[in-house]
């Protein structure tokens, strides 16, 4: 009891002295594990690419043996093996079952909510919304087994689709491929949906980098109004579209105000056009304090998987066919939001806004 009081007193003193909301000294070990797991994922998201490049440069500089190994690897990865990411990658399912993902999911916690069965003899294209800053809900639910995806949807294998640039980074490309993640290219998505067999499906965060700039608590704007490429791919492959909404994703970070037309938004948009990813100015919490950092806030994220929309394959879909399926998809997404929003603490007057 005395130890707790001393820890509380120290925390209060440091908060007053530095204006920082420090975490209590005595926290259960399981919560420390959860925080570490999420910190590790956030660090890899922010710095993993840079760390892999630095490692390769250090090995090139180190000695003739490591230099030879790196050069052999780079030649193999980007000449011989360069098409592998676009042809399903190299998936090792056991990596999705690592115990660290359970700690990761329990931090928020994450939950995956099933509303309909999915026929394992079909292929699916899941559209996930919103993007959020880092997409913790989408990656945790669909790129790991922490919330039991394969048990909820037996026979369906989800391949998270992400930026092509991820597969141009040495070493890092091997990790994301091993997790069953594939690049965002027509060739890649088409290969998964038509050539890898029944059940193999794509998970696309449709709003992408543009939607990350809208990620802030209480905001329900989705960059989806003119995003129809994924609908066309679904029609051409005969895959069923499945809308998914992650309640709470936008609550994980605070983002600096960047309204349309502002100087900051113009800079962010320009960077996005050049680099394909957006640079949101955001903050969450740290490991030992709650005031700043890139660890997300500990808030629940509920991913609700909606009703699949089935359509037969069309070799050359017309604009009208694409528009009609797009409208059905938007309606399916709205149905999820309106049905579940009050259950997850969203005011009944709030509605999705497609931009």
The model's pLDDT over 170-219, given as tens digits with 9 standing for 90+, comes to: 999 999 999 999 999 999 999 999 999 999 999 999 999 999 999 999 99
CA separation for the pair 87, 192 (Å, rounded): 7
Domain boundaries, the chain: 28-354
**DSSP helix/strand/coil, 159:** strand
Q: What is the pLDDT of residues 317-345, one digit of tens each?
A: 999 999 999 999 999 999 999 999 999 99
Share of the chain above pLDDT 90, in %: 89
pLDDT at 13: 47
What is the Cα–Cα distance from 164 to 161, expressed in whole angstroms? 9
Cα-trace Rg, the chain? 22
CB count, 10 Å around CB of 58? 11
Over pLDDT 70: what percentage of the chain?
95
pLDDT at 310: 96
Mention every residue, 6+ apart, whose C-beta is less than 8 A from residue 95.
Answer: 178, 179
State the average pLDDT over residues 28-48. 95
pLDDT at residue 73 tops 50: yes
Whole-number Å distance between alpha carbons of 230 and 161: 11
Tokens of 140: 């945790």
Please choose, from the candidates 154, 86, 176, 161, the residue with its C-alpha nearest in 3D space to the C-alpha of residue 131: 161
Strands (E), 74-228: 110-114, 124-129, 157-162, 182-183, 200-204, 221-222
CA-wise closest residue to 131 among 282, 237, 239:
282
Span 285-308, average pLDDT: 96
* pLDDT 10s digits, 136-167: 999 999 999 999 999 999 999 999 999 999 99
If you average pLDDT over every residue of the chain, what do you get? 93
The CA-to-CA distance between both ends of the chain, in Å, stands at 54
């Amino acid at each position: 009891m005395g130890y707790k009081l001393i820890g509380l007193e120290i925390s209060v003193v440091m908060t007053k002295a530095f204006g920082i909301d420090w975490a209590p000294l005595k926290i259960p070990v399981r919560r420390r594990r959860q925080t570490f797991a999420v910190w590790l994922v956030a660090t890899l998201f922010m710095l993993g690419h840079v760390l892999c490049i630095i490692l390769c440069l250090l090995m090139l500089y180190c000695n003739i043996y490591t230099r030879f190994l790196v050069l052999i690897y780079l030649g193999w990865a980007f000449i011989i093996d360069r098409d592998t990411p676009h042809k399903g990658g190299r998936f090792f399912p056991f990596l999705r079952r690592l115990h660290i993902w359970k700690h990761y999911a329990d931090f928020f916690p994450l939950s995956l909510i099933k509303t309909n069965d999915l026929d394992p003899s079909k292929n699916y294209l899941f559209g996930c919304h919103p993007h959020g800053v880092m997409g913790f809900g989408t990656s945790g639910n669909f790129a790991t087994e922490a919330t039991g995806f394969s048990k909820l949807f037996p026979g369906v294998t989800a391949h998270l689709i992400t930026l092509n640039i991820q597969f141009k980074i040495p070493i890092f490309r091997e990790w994301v491929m091993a997790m069953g993640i594939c690049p965002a290219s027509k060739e890649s998505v088409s290969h998964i949906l038509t050539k890898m067999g029944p059940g193999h499906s794509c998970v696309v965060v449709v709003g992408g980098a543009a939607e990350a700039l809208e990620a802030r608590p209480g905001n329900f704007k989705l960059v989806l109004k003119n995003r129809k490429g994924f609908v066309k791919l679904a029609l051409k492959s005969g895959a069923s579209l499945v809308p998914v909404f992650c309640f709470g994703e936008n609550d994980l970070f605070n983002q600096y105000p960047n309204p349309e037309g502002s100087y900051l938004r113009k800079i962010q948009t320009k960077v996005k056009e050049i680099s394909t990813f957006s640079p949101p100015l955001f903050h969450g919490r740290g490991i030992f304090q709650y005031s700043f950092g890139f660890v997300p806030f500990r808030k629940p994220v509920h991913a609700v998987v909606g009703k699949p929309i089935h359509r037969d394959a069309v070799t050359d879909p017309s604009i009208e066919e694409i528009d009609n399926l797009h409208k059905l998809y938007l309606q399916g997404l709205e149905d999820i939001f309106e049905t579940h929003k009050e259950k997850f603490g969203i005011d009944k007057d709030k509605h999705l806004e497609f931009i």
